[in-house]
Structure 1
């Protein structure tokens, strides 16, 4: 198994932001990385410093204007003569029929909600989050061997996370859609990619990007999105369109689902993947399904993450795990250790 990270993932530090009529302290903070990096160290696992792959794979998924906004938006925001605040955050949402004249208009066009502010060093972390994920994809693309090796299971720290990021919109703490970027990149060599998402929230960005395609399966286990973020997607009836019909499969869980129920939905998702028979599996892993997480609407235990890892590994396909959500900092180390132990456990 290989694990990838980069020191720049900790630079993004969002400030308190206004949402749902009140101020919120950010949950997606650099201290998450501090705790998660303790897990591989405790298990004696090496963490590889990610190398730069470049902008090409990002622009294969995201619109150029949107990426330019992420890259330069903070500087443009701060250059405005009026004091707009210390981070790019819009209260105006006009994604369509918006020429993007001025940074306020660009923010209105490219920020889908108020939970993805851009602060001084955000772009550096956003970029390196995608590069870190791309290192795992590159390892598979450059692996010519047929035998089992350390590219069969790979794990990437993905901060800031990505599954809510749409083709041209940030939201839900997400900016670049790392799962979609590496799935598209892997299509250079592999015919079929499956993305399984077990984060507490539905990944509407992944769904949108591949909704009309049959070469990338997206299946998601998440909390019922009625009055729960992202609020407008993640329903069972969303099955894809055109060639993609049937290749988008959602399993919304009733709020309050216990661990047994969670795994019943995960097993259904796994059955869908087995039917699809992909060449590579990308797992969007969210620790926000943990029972004490502030975002949790289900009750997964620490031991449950070991079971989840065992189920992913048992699919016997090349596996790339992206560590995304999870905001109960006190247990991130323990929960990731449990997951890693399930990945490295030898078959009896």
Structure 2
């Protein structure tokens, strides 16, 4: 399988995030991409650099004011008296506040959903490179070159059109899907990360040109908490084009594979001819952020099941964090897909 990867993505190197009131090292670290890259090269996949596509494909999803914030926030933050090394919000607008701030501290809260996505000196470069990986890989699929894997870091599925969150800044899968839909393809996104793809859902929630399915852990007491429930079906023109399949915590291979099969069945009924797969490897039983119990062999079977849909497919990397099995999980999924 063709793999698209840029080392520029390693310029994003967040030092910490806040979890349950504690400051902890960020699990979304450059070593993730190093392990993914080692896994695909070790398995014999071809790796190529992305083309630079400019801001156009990104701007098709993300509005100008949000992109300006991501591009300029760190420099503006660094000009503050006694600033921290990264942009991390300490105030958010909440449900009852509507003013749109001009100051970088206020904008951080406005454009960032949580404290898990600090903006450092290299974040904008890395996020742009990740988006270029997704777009370049999508162009390969659209050109008939077969399936492709975009090794994207930072990930993207928690990024809304105008808000970062959950380690994500630009919605790589959404950018790629919108590009295919604009070209006349009938597109579905299947997200199989342990966390609900709330940003992707938000981008397409009122649209009917991209069908979104998310298989994830029950968000009742798990990130992102505020979305990912089965009753969320889309709104307006998008009603009926959103499907959430939350899974009980502790669900293993059988339940996970059944949910993927259910999601693919919905994709088939939609009549999709192109699939964007948001691949999270954090459902793995030993993932430090996961609550599901999927095995490495389960990922191999998941890859075969997705391949069985017989759709033009772009695989975009989302979550999956440092554990002994991380690289093996990716290699197993791609092997299952290639032999499915």
| Interval of TM-score (by shorter of Structure 1 and Structure 2) | over 0.9
1:328 to partner: Cα distance: 2.8
Structure 2 residue matching 1:299: 3-state secondary structure: coil
Q: Gaps (5+ residues) in structure 1?
A: 144-148
Would you say the 8 A contact 1:16–1:25 is kept in 2? yes
Structure 1 residue matching 2:275: 3-state secondary structure: strand
Tell me which residue corresponds to 1:259: 253
Would you say the 8 A contact 1:15–1:119 is kept in 2? no
Rounded to whole Å, the distance in 2 between the matches of 1:7 and 1:78 is 25
Does 114-123 or 13-22 show the bigger shift?
13-22
Tell me which residue corresponds to 2:86: 87
Among candidates 279, 289, 293, match of residue 283 of structure 2: 289
Rounded to whole Å, the distance in 2 between the matches of 1:260 and 1:19 is 30
Q: Which runs of 4+ in 1 moved over 3 A?
A: none
Rounded to whole Å, the distance in 1 between the matches of 2:138 and 2:45 is 20
Structure 2 residue matching 1:47: 3-state secondary structure: strand
Among candidates 226, 229, 253, match of residue 223 of structure 2: 229
Asked if 1:129 corresponds to 2:130, the answer is yes
Tell me which residue corresponds to 2:204: 210
Rounded to whole Å, the distance in 2 between the matches of 1:256 and 1:294 is 14
Tell me which residue corresponds to 1:113: 114
Q: Gaps (5+ residues) in structure 2?
A: none
CA deviation digits over 1:308-332, x for unaligned, max 9? Answer: 1111111111100001100134222
Rounded to whole Å, the distance in 1 between the matches of 2:156 and 2:79 is 28
Asked if 1:325 corresponds to 2:326, the answer is no
Asked if 1:138 corresponds to 2:132, the answer is no
Would you say the 8 A contact 2:185–2:274 is kept in 1? no
1:84 to partner: Cα distance: 2.4
Tell me which residue corresponds to 1:201: 195
Would you say the 8 A contact 2:62–2:161 is kept in 1? yes
Would you say the 8 A contact 2:8–2:129 is kept in 1? yes
CA deviation digits over 1:12-46, x for unaligned, max 9? Answer: 10012334321121000000111111112212221
Would you say the 8 A contact 1:98–1:109 is kept in 2? no
Aligned residues: 338
Tell me which residue corresponds to 1:176: 170
TM (normalized to structure 2)?
0.96
Structure 2 residue matching 1:256: 3-state secondary structure: coil
Rounded to whole Å, the distance in 1 between the matches of 2:3 and 2:135 is 12
TM (normalized to structure 1)?
0.94
Would you say the 8 A contact 2:9–2:126 is kept in 1? yes
Structure 1 residues 9 and 202 mapped into 2: Cα distance closer, same or farther (>3 Å)?
A: same
Rounded to whole Å, the distance in 2 between the matches of 1:321 and 1:140 is 10
Tell me which residue corresponds to 1:304: 298
CA deviation digits over 1:198-242, x for unaligned, max 9? Answer: 000001111111111111100000000012100000000000112
Would you say the 8 A contact 1:112–1:169 is kept in 2? yes
CA deviation digits over 1:141-176, x for unaligned, max 9? Answer: 4x2xxxxx5x32110111000000011100000000
* Aligned 1:66-77 pairs, distance under 5 A: 66-77=66-77
CA deviation digits over 1:68-90, x for unaligned, max 9? Answer: 1111110110011x112110001
Rounded to whole Å, the distance in 2 between the matches of 1:99 and 1:335 is 43
Among candidates 242, 246, 268, match of residue 262 of structure 2: 268
Rounded to whole Å, the distance in 1 between the matches of 2:226 and 2:100 is 25
1:288 to partner: Cα distance: 0.3
* Aligned 1:183-194 pairs, distance under 5 A: 183-194=177-188
